[in-house]
Amino acid sequence: MLKTKICEVLGIDYPIIQGGMAWVSDSSLAAAVSEAGGLGVIAAGNAPSDWVENEILKAQDITNKPFGVNIMLLSPFVDDVVNVVLKHGVKVVTTGAGNPGKYMKDFKSIGAKVIPVMPSVALAKRMEDIGADAVIAEGMESGGHIGELTTMVIVPQIVDALSIPVIAAGGIADGRGLIAALALGAEGVQMGTRFVASKECSIVEAYKEAIVKAKDRDTVVTGRTTGHPVRILKNKLAREFMKLEANGATKEELEKFGEGKLRLAAREGDIQNGSVMAGQIAGLIKDIKPVKEIMEDIIKEAQAVIKKVNGVVEE
């Protein structure tokens, strides 16, 4: 057993949330994580609302346990996606890449728990003030769209500034990371990259294998010049993007170049010309396993870490 208050709030066994990952976390991955005792999350990403609706229905077919939907607030379909989430009584909503304030009342009206992902203290505090049930404090170790601060630095500062539960994200993939997050005052963790390298993740094997092969320094942050920094694995696309940035390409040119590249990698399997989003912790991930095994191994390791720490404290 390894329970925190957030487990009760979300109706889950372990304080582990699967990060919403566009083009990656569909009903297959989300339902597997929920079945294994965590909180699975379907990512709406930039997908149209009928795709999201279909994934919600598929997840409800696979599991009776609670799952969430992640709403990417830069999506052109965000209003329609919100309506689908409301229509189907989704239990938990996580958000990324913006401020979900506009939709907070709607989510609350159906009793959904709202957990925005936030990269800084001021933004996280604002979320508490407008009624968020918890926040995910995300460090820049994460894959995808990131902020400026590391997990080690942002988690305890958000914990101290807020009274709602804080979930730590960024650079966490095992039991050591889970206990470290609890030590920083978090009530749980969100993991993305670890769950990409799972059997139930429905993307192409080449993407998962790229994560397994990655070493500690194999990610890079692109897009700092556009105001949308995104961490990806180093590949041909990353080199081309950085070259364009160094040569002073405009925001519009870079956005045009980046369009469709995550889908190209995750669904079409072109991991050289596509965008292989992954966190720095990819270097720690050595295998592709069933979600249940990932979860059980993390809990076992976390319990062993606690025993070890107890031993040190008692000496």
Q: Which is nearer to ligand TUI, 179 or 191 (CB)?
A: 191
Beta strand segments in 35-154, E? 40-43, 67-72, 92-96, 113-118, 135-138, 144-145
Minimal distance, residue 230 CB to ligand TUI, in Å: 5
Minimal distance, residue 57 CB to ligand TUI, in Å: 23
Does position 260 interact with ligand TUI (CB under 6 A)? The reply is: no
x/- map, 277-296, ligand TUI, by CB under 6 A? x-------------------
In Å, how far are 10, 28, 57, 68, 69 from 90, measured between CA atoms?
Answer: 12, 16, 10, 6, 7
Does position 138 interact with ligand TUI (CB under 6 A)? The reply is: yes
Minimal distance, residue 212 CB to ligand TUI, in Å: 20
Does position 115 interact with ligand TUI (CB under 6 A)? The reply is: no
Helices (H) and strands (E) in the chain, counts: 14, 11
DSSP structural state of residue 83: H
Sign of CA dihedral 192, 190, 62, 200: positive
Does position 123 interact with ligand TUI (CB under 6 A)? The reply is: yes
Q: Taking a C-beta distance cutoff of 8 angstroms, is the pair 30, 91 a contact?
A: no
Q: Which is nearer to ligand TUI, 74 or 304 (CB)?
A: 74
Does position 99 interact with ligand TUI (CB under 6 A)? The reply is: yes
Amino acid at 36: A
Minimal distance, residue 191 CB to ligand TUI, in Å: 13
Cα angle 92-97-100, degrees, rounded to a multiple of 5: 50
Does position 263 interact with ligand TUI (CB under 6 A)? The reply is: no
Cα Dmax for the chain: 60
Distance CA 247, CA 249 (A): 6
- Which of 117, 149, 178, 201 binds ligand TUI (CB under 6 A)? It is 117
Distance CA 295, CA 195 (A): 10
Q: Taking a C-beta distance cutoff of 8 angstroms, is the pair 279, 19 a contact?
A: no
Segment contacting ligand TUI by CB under 6 A, of 29-37, 78-86, 96-104, 299-307: 96-104
x/- map, 186-225, ligand TUI, by CB under 6 A? ----------------------------------------
Q: Which is nearer to ligand TUI, 112 or 154 (CB)?
A: 154
The structure tokens listed for 158 are: 């958000």
Does position 147 interact with ligand TUI (CB under 6 A)? The reply is: yes
Beta strand segments in the chain, E? 16-18, 40-43, 67-72, 92-96, 113-118, 135-138, 144-145, 166-169, 188-191, 219-222, 230-233
Does position 72 interact with ligand TUI (CB under 6 A)? The reply is: yes
Minimal distance, residue 196 CB to ligand TUI, in Å: 12
Q: Which is nearer to ligand TUI, 38 or 96 (CB)?
A: 96
Q: Which is nearer to ligand TUI, 40 or 119 (CB)?
A: 119
Q: Taking a C-beta distance cutoff of 8 angstroms, is the pair 194, 33 a contact?
A: no
Q: Which is nearer to ligand TUI, 13 or 138 (CB)?
A: 138
The site for ligand TUI (CB under 6 A) is made up of 22, 45, 72, 74, 96-99, 117-119, 123, 138, 144-147, 228, 230, 277
